[in-house]
A = this chain, B = another copy of it.
Amino acid sequence: MPQFLDASDPGFEAAFSALLGMKREDSPDVDAVVAAIIADVRERGDAAVIELTARFDRMELVPERLAFSEAEIEAEIARVPADERAALELAAERIRAYHERQMPEDARWEDAAGASLGWRWGAIASAGLYVPGGLASYPSSVLMNAIPAKVAGVERLAVVCPTPGGVVNPLVLLAARIAGVDTIYRIGGAQAVAALAYGTETIRPVDKITGPGNAYVAAAKRRVFGRVGIDMIAGPSEILVIADGKTDPDWIALDLLSQAEHDESAQSILITPDAAFGQAVARAVEARLETLARREIAGASWRDYGAVIVTRDLEEAAALSDRVAPEHLELCVEDPEALAARIRHAGAIFLGAWTPEAIGDYVGGPNHVLPTARSARFSSGLSVMDFLKRTTLARMTPSALRAIGPAAERLAISESLEAHGLSVRARLDRLNEV
């Protein structure tokens, strides 16, 4: 059974703080191992990648087989049934349409001093996408990472995906194909991240690496950050549902379980002003857990990290939700727009009972790569912006320099940066000569 908390109980604040502070992930300290792997790949290139892949993935490769060939990709994706392909294509189309709207505008203007100012957006030239192998090898994540990159205008897009024991997920290859990925490497782990960051004889380095992975991948991304760009370091998934109790409890139970089934460390929280509804949802969860294929995982997550919180009203529910800053927030209430207006911190909001979170995982359009572990307080989900960068522009005229240059010179002198001041002064003096 999950925790049941009542916000009007005297002990609530302590219990809620404990829930917020819960450490759900045991990050093993793999930093030394990862540092050695990265150094090895930098030094020995392909040979190191091949050796590490043999060791960790039980796969004997040669340089020519690091990447899937066109023929291999075609053969694999031919095995995908038509309805799965159609579903993937619908998802891709909707994700593309949403992300195309995110493209930011360039700007350029002249200000009162006569200075011309602005900025310009440009795409990152190349990106690498990490796709986990095995159980968490999700084709939907390929779409969610690759499509924003292509919409941004990234020209060269590589995927790395380990194939332990040679097992390939054809849907991952198809998703990469649909999204416009150029090269797919059958490698993973810290060695794949190192290869993407530094390049090898056969693997071209990229400018940015995104995508989820295990502790080794996360540590490797943290280490290569600076050499290349990275996205966030993702933690276990979370959902918070605020429900007014006017929905079928089974729907809410399934929504909670759809996070819980990801991972034993996932967290599902229901907040409702209707205590009886909270109990009904908990019963529905137990009933569903009896037959769910992933009942071991989902059951452990729900038991260890799940919570049902009863509040005085929806306003209090929104305030508590903001303290959680959930990755996914479902508002199963009569007026979800009004409640959403009260929410400040959430990665994604799903409005109303007809919007189960799972829609957002696949076909909604918004990205499903979202800030976890309360980081929605300060960060956003993946977007086109993650594959763009901004160059600022400034152009002074002689009269603009005359207007604002002396202040720059003054501040340079204050900061003991003489050459800074002189670079402005030399030009001002020329203007005064004229």
Q: Does A396 contact B (CB under 8 A)?
A: yes
Q: Does A42 contact B (CB under 8 A)?
A: no
- CB within 8 Å for A424 and B359 given contacts A171-B414, A288-B419, A419-B260: yes
Whole-angstrom CA separation of A232 from B226 in the bound complex: 8
A229 touches B393 (CB 8 A): no
A418 touches B140 (CB 8 A): no
Chain A interface (Cβ within 8 Å of chain B)?
A: 83-84, 86-88, 90-91, 94, 97-98, 101-102, 104, 107, 109, 111, 113, 115-117, 119, 122, 124-125, 135, 138-140, 171, 207-208, 222, 225-226, 228-229, 232-233, 235, 248, 250-251, 254-255, 257-258, 260-262, 288, 292-294, 298, 336-337, 340, 343-367, 370-371, 373, 375-381, 383, 385, 389-398, 400-401, 404-408, 410-412, 414-424, 426-427, 430
Contact of A356 among B84, B139, B347, B424 (CB under 8 A): B424
Whole-angstrom CA separation of A116 from B366 in the bound complex: 11
- CB within 8 Å for A362 and B392 given contacts A354-B398, A378-B208: no
Whole-angstrom CA separation of A255 from B87 in the bound complex: 57
Whole-angstrom CA separation of A217 from B390 in the bound complex: 26
Contact of A419 among B294, B346, B383, B423 (CB under 8 A): B294
A421 touches B358 (CB 8 A): yes
A397 touches B140 (CB 8 A): no
Cβ–Cβ < 8 Å partners of A122 in chain B = 344-345
Shortest Cβ distance from A254 into chain B, in angstroms?
A: 4
Cβ–Cβ < 8 Å partners of A395 in chain B = 336-337, 350-352, 354-355
> What is the oligomeric copy number?
2
Other A-B contacts than A101-B109, A258-B423, A366-B393, 20 sampled, CB-CB below 8 A, are A84-B414, A87-B406, A94-B404, A101-B107, A124-B377, A125-B377, A248-B430, A257-B422, A261-B420, A288-B422, A294-B417, A348-B393, A349-B391, A354-B396, A356-B424, A362-B407, A362-B412, A363-B405, A378-B389, A381-B390
Cβ–Cβ < 8 Å partners of A414 in chain B = 84, 87, 139, 171
Shortest Cβ distance from A137 into chain B, in angstroms?
A: 8
Cβ–Cβ < 8 Å partners of A117 in chain B = 98, 364-366
Whole-angstrom CA separation of A38 from B280 in the bound complex: 44
Interface centre among A257, A380, A397, by most B CB within 10 Å? A380
Cβ–Cβ < 8 Å partners of A376 in chain B = 389, 391
